[in-house]
Amino acid sequence: MHILILNGPNLNLLGQREPQIYGTNTLNQMEESIKKVAQPLNVQVDFFQSNSEGAIIDTIHAAKDKGIDGIVLNAGAYTHYSYAILDAIHAVTTPVVEVHLSPIYQREAFRHHSVIAPACIGQISGFGIDSYRLGLLALLNDLEK
């Protein structure tokens, strides 16, 4: 299996950005923790982060041709209003699991709605960097069905 962990805007600042909400682990540390889960399972993992909506969309489009079987996506704030990312996920056959570090349903009202959720196979939120690990396991479980 070959999985992509795709991170959207402001997640490059993980560790320093509002640590009371998003934790003190950096994006790099999250990636290392994912590698530890993936390695014994023989899963190849790629990582990509962009602050640009277009780059995220291009990456979703290109995934299949790069041999990627599924995507774990934290679209950041785009989650709540990017119909373009929703359409991109609908446009491809690559399964996507939506993840969030923070418990989005316990936060401001605008975070309670995910416009990308209808195109994703499932959603995990509120477990900090463990949301990615859980998202990866859920994705692998789905792919193996």
Q: Between residues 65 and 109, which has the closer beta carbon with respect to ligand DQA? A: 109
Known catalytic residue at 100:
yes
The least distance separating ligand DQA from the CB of residue 42, rounded to whole angstroms, comes to 27
Query: Which residues sit at the interface with ligand DQA, rule CB under 6 A?
Result: 10, 74, 76-77, 79, 100-102, 104, 111
Q: Between residues 3 and 98, which has the closer beta carbon with respect to ligand DQA? A: 98
The least distance separating ligand DQA from the CB of residue 121, rounded to whole angstroms, comes to 17
Angle between helices 130-143 and 27-38 (to 10 degrees): 40
Q: Between residues 104 and 140, which has the closer beta carbon with respect to ligand DQA? A: 104
Task: Please classify residue 127 by burial: count the beta carbons closer than 10 Å to its beta carbon, then call 0-12 exposed, 13-18 middle and 19+ buried.
Answer: middle
Q: Give the Cβ contact number of residue 32 at 10 Å.
A: 12
Q: Between residues 28 and 44, which has the closer beta carbon with respect to ligand DQA? A: 28
The least distance separating ligand DQA from the CB of residue 77, rounded to whole angstroms, comes to 3
Q: 5, 131 in Cβ contact below 8 A? A: no
The least distance separating ligand DQA from the CB of residue 22, rounded to whole angstroms, comes to 6
63 Cβ contact list (under 8 Å, min separation 6): 4, 71, 92, 94
- The CA distance from 86 to 98, in Å, is 11
Q: Catalytic residue positions? A: 22, 100
